[in-house]
A and B are shown apart, each in its own frame.
With several copies, the nearest count.
Chain A
Amino acid sequence: MTLILLIFVFVLAAFLGFELISKVPSQLHTPLMSGSNAISGITIVGALIATMVDESGTLSKYLGLAALILATINVVGGYLVTDRMLAMFKRKEK
């Protein structure tokens, strides 16, 4: 049942994703790409779980740590860079 429901969630999210991005003005394409790139860093949650799950220094723990660092770069950098981009847009509307 869990798996089925996860698939259900996946399908609904896919439709929602499509509906949300209809007719974005072209000037927003780059920030939108960058912003959703930051969201794709959600894999940080997986990385955290992988880092925390084992107690010994197994390969899987090191992989988790590497994943954690990479995902954090993606998340933090992604949000900041998007914010900087959008700050530019903001200014011109004053």
Chain B
Amino acid sequence: METIINIAYIAAAIFFIYGIKMLGRPETARQGNRVSAVGMLIAVVATLINQHIFDSWIWVVGGLLIGAAIGAVAAQRVQMTGMPELVALFNGFGGLASLFVGWAEYDRIISESLAPAAFTAAVIYLAVLIGGVTFTGSVYAWGKLSGKLGGPPILFPGQRLFNGALVAGIVLFGVWFVFNPPLYLIFLLGVVLSLLLGFFGVMPIGGGDMPVVVSLLNSFSGLAASAAGFVIENNVLVVAGCLVGASGLILTVIMCKAMNRTLTNVLLGGFGATVSGGQQAEGEMKAATIDDAYFVLESARNVVFVPGYGMAVAQAQHVVKELGNILEENGAEVRYVVHPVAGRMPGHMNVLLAEADVAYEQLVEMGDVNPTMNQVDVAIIIGANDVVNPAALTDESSPIYGMPIIKAHEARTVYALKRGRGRGFSGIENALFFRENTRMLFGDAKQTISQLVAHFKEN
């Protein structure tokens, strides 16, 4: 029996490995997710066949049903744009679950009047600690991403000192606990401190950095599961948890690189709280009317759309696609240039444009467009800001200096759609909007584009 369960666990681990591998390639990603789901099913079923299932079946079935119902409803209801925060919330639940698993095992040992061995105590503490940090950190990240807790980083004097003290306290209690495993109070204090650490650790980090934070916390929740696996000596927990821990960590690093930030830089936080230096932009913004834009677009032969966070806010993807179609019928070559960190989560623009059925061939990467940008007649910037900021190329004092950008400023004419003089995620001014060849179309992106579409339809 034990053997069959373990073979099933090995099978589950293989499914997870293949699943992660396939998730990394666009063609196989969806299948990969299903493969890994099958692995999970195998692991759950294998766990159910042994054990005191008959004594506890109400508990088990009840727990599974309640959890599955909540999870399924939440996943079905959520809007496309709300997905990142939902993932953060789920991740927090996973962390809390690992905390409870560690705690339950500790309580079981204690209630049998035993004391766990030092190693067991250490992994229990680790599971609980990482799980706790993951939980509050993820919930806070969820709050920020969904706008419930406000996006900008919250800084207070002595913040780093305070967080440092939290870490020190956790380590202290940890050592104490490992040498005196029966001290329930110390254990609980450790739990409380780790919950606090998750909360205060995420506090100084701006809303735009949340995807990185969520990815890191995702890695943590894997490690928490792995630690829980050591607690109950369960191999599939150790393997799957560690796979997630390692791949999550490397994914976090990859995401940081795409934004030209380091992980430390993100975690120390405060980015976007203060408007950092950089020259002031010269010139003034020149507003254009829909009419102007219509005439220019009418005669354009080569058009690129540069979507950004504003397109997501305005939910303008469908009308953008409509305008794109009209321009194509009108004989222009139309492309959509997607910057890897446009929007607020990686792949944000891809997901939105895919939702609007933009063909795969029309989605191009910036590296493919930049060299020939000067042959583009019109670049239409839809709520993008930082990702088209030329300061990243030229101004060494700019906080985004060195980030690769879409060189929209090299197009013959640039139309920038935004509501006003609002700044982007990084909080810095963008000289592009003040250039000779740039015209502003103020207003909500969706409305502006709809008006353009209407104009085309009339004529």
* Direct A–B contact present (CB less than 8 angstroms): yes
How far is the CB of B421 from the nearest CB of chain A, in Å?
29
In contact, B72 and A76 (Cβ under 8 angstroms): yes
In contact, A13 and B23 (Cβ under 8 angstroms): no
In contact, B44 and A45 (Cβ under 8 angstroms): yes
In contact, A46 and B237 (Cβ under 8 angstroms): yes
CA distance A32 to B215 in the complex (A): 10
In contact, A39 and B29 (Cβ under 8 angstroms): no
In contact, A77 and B71 (Cβ under 8 angstroms): yes
Contact A20:B21 (CB < 8 A) given known A39-B244, A45-B236, A70-B94:
yes
- In the complex formed, the residue of A with least CB distance to B107 is A60
Contacting residues, chain A, for B51 (C-beta < 8 A): 48-49, 52-53
Write the A12-39 contact mask toward B (1 if CB under 8 angstroms, else 0): 1111111011111111111111111111
In contact, B226 and A10 (Cβ under 8 angstroms): yes
Contacting residues, chain A, for B218 (C-beta < 8 A): 33, 36-37, 40
Instruction: Tell me which of B344-352, B393-401, B407-415, B442-450 binds A.
Output: B344-352
Question: Which chain A residues numbered 56 to 94 have a C-beta less than 8 Å away from chain B?
Answer: 58-61, 63-93
Write the B236-252 contact mask toward A (1 if CB under 8 angstroms, else 0): 11111111111111110
In contact, B72 and A77 (Cβ under 8 angstroms): yes
How far is the CB of B353 from the nearest CB of chain A, in Å?
7
In contact, A71 and B93 (Cβ under 8 angstroms): yes
Among A55, A65, A70, the most chain B Cβ lie within 10 Å of the Cβ of: A70
Contact A21:B48 (CB < 8 A) given known A31-B23, A34-B83, A81-B90:
no
Write the B148-173 contact mask toward A (1 if CB under 8 angstroms, else 0): 00000000000000000000000000
In contact, B245 and A39 (Cβ under 8 angstroms): no
In contact, B97 and A71 (Cβ under 8 angstroms): yes
Contacting residues, chain B, for A40 (C-beta < 8 A): 91, 94, 218, 221-222, 224-225, 240-241, 244, 248
Contact A76:B235 (CB < 8 A) given known A18-B246, A41-B40, A47-B100:
no
In contact, B60 and A37 (Cβ under 8 angstroms): no
Q: Is the interface of A mostly helix, strand, loop or mixed?
A: helix
In contact, A11 and B40 (Cβ under 8 angstroms): no
Other-chain contact of A70, B7, B16, B93, B347 (Cβ < 8 Å): B93
Contact A78:B87 (CB < 8 A) given known A38-B36, A42-B241:
yes
Q: Is the interface of B mostly helix, strand, loop or mixed?
A: helix
Interface bin, chain B: 35 or more
Other-chain contact of B234, A25, A45, A60, A92 (Cβ < 8 Å): A45
Contacting residues, chain A, for B26 (C-beta < 8 A): 25, 27-28, 89, 93
How far is the CB of B121 from the nearest CB of chain A, in Å?
13
Question: Which chain B residues numbered 328 to 357 have a C-beta less than 8 Å away from chain A?
Answer: 338, 340-341, 345-348, 350-351, 353-355, 357
With contacts A52-B53, A83-B33 known, what are 11 further pairs, Cβ within 8 A? A1-B233, A4-B10, A12-B13, A17-B243, A18-B247, A29-B211, A29-B258, A42-B241, A68-B63, A69-B66, A80-B71
- 26 CB < 8 A contacts A-B: A4-B6, A10-B226, A10-B238, A28-B23, A30-B346, A30-B348, A32-B247, A32-B251, A39-B40, A46-B228, A46-B232, A47-B101, A49-B232, A52-B56, A67-B99, A67-B101, A70-B93, A71-B94, A72-B67, A78-B94, A80-B71, A81-B74, A81-B87, A83-B33, A84-B75, A84-B83
